[in-house]
């Protein structure tokens, strides 16, 4: 089984992205033999008020529950974010809440993120912190966004230990700067060769989850990392679906 915890649907404003809607993502999942995806709305990255993009994506996913789970976006610096989270949870059945601090203009040590984490802990919803969405070298010249800082994530972990915390789209060096009890997905790591082996050392210490970054990235590139010659079957299955099932208990049929 393969569960992708970092998938997106929607509009990317800077260049055309093939297969970027829900049907397109499903096509990519079928092509790559991915059983389930936790999907967030790309439109919410560029709309400070995430409520509308959340609702549109949740509606679009309503008939895809067998393969796709809804991951809401939240911006804790925008008025009404508590209601946005409540709606995502109670009306749309969100499996997790994703934030993208630097695109929404705050740091990972911002007090508002602590408040969001506390609300999510209360609701037993995992928090996914998105480090980036695009290689910084490829940003449009008038829209350069720094990556989220890992120091703030460690501080958040310490301040709200009850929340399930996953860092998404980080590089190897950034993951190395994270406390061991912060889970990570693989969407931001393309090398060096053997990196996954080193991230999983010592065994059981770091929870590493499959994340492809589709539709922005080629999902098969994410899956390719799992085939590394020296991974045990247990290690590969933990990354492919085991940790996802444990960390996202609300994930439905596709998480079987």
Partner 1 sequence: MPDEPIIDCHVHPDPVDLPEGLIREANRLGVTQLIVASLGRSWDYEPSHEHCVRGNRDTLALVDRYGGMVLGWAYVNPRFEDEAEAEVRWCVEEAGFVGIKLWVSALASESCVGRMIDLSVELRVPVLMHAWHKATGNLPLESTPQMLAGLAQAKPRARIIMAHVGGDWQLGSRAAEGSPLLVDTSGSIVENGMIEETVARLGAHRVLFGSDAAGVDLATALAKITAAEIPHEARRRILYDNVVELLSWRRQAA
Cis peptide before 189 (omega within 30 of 0): no
CB of 82 to partner 1, least distance (A): 34
Which is closer to partner 1, CB of 154 or CB of 212?
212
CB of 85 to partner 1, least distance (A): 29
Which is closer to partner 1, CB of 141 or CB of 202?
141
Q: Is 93 left (phi over 0), alpha (psi -120 to 50) or beta?
A: left
Contact 248, 37 (CB under 8 A): no
CB of 214 to partner 1, least distance (A): 7
Which residues neighbour 58 within 8 Å (Cβ) at sequence distance 6 or greater? Answer: 70, 72, 88, 91, 92, 93, 94
* Token representation of residue 233: 């079957």
CB of 163 to partner 1, least distance (A): 30
Which is closer to partner 1, CB of 32 or CB of 153?
32
CA distance 87 to 70: 12
CB of 189 to partner 1, least distance (A): 8
Binding site for partner 1 (CB under 8 A): 15-19, 28, 31-32, 135-141, 144, 190-195, 197, 213-225, 227-230
Which is closer to partner 1, CB of 104 or CB of 171?
171
Complete DSSP assignment for 31-68: HHT--EEEEEEGGGGS-S--HHHHHHHHHHHGGGTTTE
Which is closer to partner 1, CB of 63 or CB of 227?
227
């Amino acid at each position: 089984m393969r569960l992708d915890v970092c998938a997106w649907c929607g509009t990317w404003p800077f260049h055309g992205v093939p297969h970027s809607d829900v049907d397109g993502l499903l096509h990519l999942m079928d092509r790559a033999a991915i059983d389930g995806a936790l999907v967030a709305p790309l439109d919410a990255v560029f709309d400070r008020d995430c409520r509308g993009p959340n609702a549109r994506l949740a509606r679009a996913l309503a008939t895809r529950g067998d393969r796709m789970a809804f991951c809401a976006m939240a911006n804790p610096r925008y008025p009404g974010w508590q209601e946005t989270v409540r709606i995502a949870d109670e009306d749309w059945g969100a499996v997790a809440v994703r934030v993208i601090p630097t695109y929404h203009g705050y740091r990972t040590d911002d007090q508002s993120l602590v408040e969001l984490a506390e609300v999510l802990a209360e609701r037993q919803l995992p928090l996914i912190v998105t480090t980036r969405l695009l290689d910084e070298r490829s940003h449009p010249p008038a829209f350069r966004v720094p990556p989220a800082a890992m120091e703030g994530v460690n501080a958040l972990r310490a301040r709200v230990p009850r929340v399930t915390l996953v860092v998404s789209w980080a590089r190897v060096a950034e993951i190395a700067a994270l406390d061991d009890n912060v889970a990570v997905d693989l969407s931001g790591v393309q090398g060096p060769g053997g990196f996954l082996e080193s991230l999983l050392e010592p065994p059981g210490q770091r929870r590493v989850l499959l994340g492809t970054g589709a539709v922005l990235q080629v999902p098969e590139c994410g899956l390719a990392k799992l085939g590394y010659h020296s991974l045990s079957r247990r290690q590969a299955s933990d990354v492919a679906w085991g940790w996802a099932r444990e960390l996202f208990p609300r994930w439905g049929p596709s998480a079987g």
